[in-house]
Structure formats: C-alpha cells, structure tokens
Amino acid sequence: MAGIVQSVDRALSILEVLADYNEGLGVTEISEKVRLHKSTVHRLLATLIYKGYVTQDFKTNKYMITLKLFELGNKKVEEMDILSISKPYIRGLMEKVNEVVHLVVREGNEIVYIDKVEAKNTIRMASTIGMRSPLYCTSVGKVILAQLPEDEVEEIWSSSKIERLTKNTITNLSVMKKELKKVRKQGYAIDNEENEIGVRCVGAPVFNIFGKVEGAISVSGPTIRITKDIIEELADQVTECAKMISEALGYKE
C-alpha cells in the first residue's frame, strides 16, 4: 500500500503482538510472530524501549509493553466532551425533524439539560439549559435508567419523590421495570405526556468509550405535531443520532 512506512508498520506490529502477552515475549518468539529477522526485531525493540513503549525484564530477558500507549489514549478520552462533540449532531437532527432537541446528563435522581437546539416553530418548549427533571417521567431519564443495574434502579426509585404529574405518569415500580425492559429492547423511550400534558418526547441513550451511558438526547414537541403515527420514524432518527454521538465519543458495539 502506498504511503506505508515500513519501520513504523513493523514497530506497531511488535506492539500489537506484545499486547497479547502480559508476561512478555523473548526476541525469538517476537521474531516468529511478526515474521521478521531477530536482528531487525532487536533494533526496533531498542527504539521502542528508548521511547518508553516497551520495557525488558532483565531476569527473563522478555519484553513487555508499558502503559505509555494507554496514557496517550487516555489524553484523548479526557478531551472527549459530550457537550462539544454532540453539538453538530443534535443541530443536524433538529434540522431534519424541525422539533426541539435536548441533550441531558444524569445527576443523582435527575436529568440536567445541558444543551438545547430550538426549532423554528410557533409552539416552543419551555425547557431551558440547566433545568432539571426526574428520571422516571422523562424519555431521556427512562433510557438512562434502562441501562442501569436493577438494584440501582430500585435505589433511585426508593429515594425519589414519585409523583403522578399527569394521568400517564408511571408511579408503580413493577410497571416501570416492564417499561425499562421494553426500552432496552427497542433502544429508545417515549414520554407520552408523562411529565406534561400536551408534550410528547422520544429519547435515546448516548454511550461513552467504556460502554457506559454518558447521557441522552431527545426530540420533544406538542402532541399535535408529534403524533403516534410518526413515533417510529422519529425514533429511528433519534437513535441514529445518538449512535453517531456515541461513536464520536469512542463507543464501539
């Protein structure tokens, strides 16, 4: 392949091999696995040791990778910010659906709205950045709850003030567990006027590089526009957007 630097390619191959052996490998073993002459492997190892990517156990003469690659990768992870990374994606989603899009994160038993992209509609949502809502009665809250262990869900439930905000609010734990099972299976949640009469929302979870739920996004609007007939189509768009944000954060399924 054009543009490949042979020495770099070989050095990376050695690192990839060593990554599979916690106790290390000798020069002969490495040479066999990467199919290179021992003298070549020895020179490359010397450079990798000099740069801090490999270390040698002088008792066994085996070579092992260090944590330097992890340190470099971790710097990238630390720079990954759900707020800044998600901005172009949630704006793109808003332009597709012409409804307000929210980005939230969990804090305790609540979700906090950390970003909002308003659509150009005459009827607008009263939500504001920094506003808080309960986990149990919002689409974004339910998709976050659906990713948590059952005992943690029970703990959140028991320590929350569960109120019937509307006739549709789920206030029974057993019913909520069934709802969360459905949410996990379909990959999105619906707030069907559970938090506010006349408002329907569709939410999907956002995952980080470690596979943990980092937050959630939602599309919200009045029920006269977000009708039950378009929920499935809307859910596809929301989940696709959440997936793209997750991938930008380093998540791999």
pLDDT per position as a tens digit, 16-58:
999 999 899 999 999 999 999 999 999 999 999 999 999 999 8
Are 203 and 226 in contact by the 8 Å Cβ rule? The answer is no
pLDDT at 75: 67
Q: Where in the chain is the domain with CATH 1.10.10.10?
A: 6-75
User: What's the chain's average pLDDT?
Assistant: 91
Q: What is the DSSP letter of 123?
A: S
Whether domain 80-248 has CATH 3.40.50.620: no
pLDDT at 173: 96
Q: What is the mean pLDDT of residues 147-175?
A: 95
Task: List Cβ neighbours of 39 (8 Å cut-off, separation of 6 or more).
Answer: none
pLDDT per position as a tens digit, 102-160:
999 998 999 989 899 988 765 556 667 888 899 999 999 999 999 999 999 999 999 99
Integer angstrom CA distances of residue 89 from 81, 113, 125, 193, 246: 13, 16, 20, 26, 11
Whether domain 6-75 has CATH 3.40.220.10: no
pTM: 0.71
Q: Where in the chain is the domain with CATH 3.30.450.40?
A: 80-248
Q: What is the mean pLDDT of residues 60-85?
A: 81
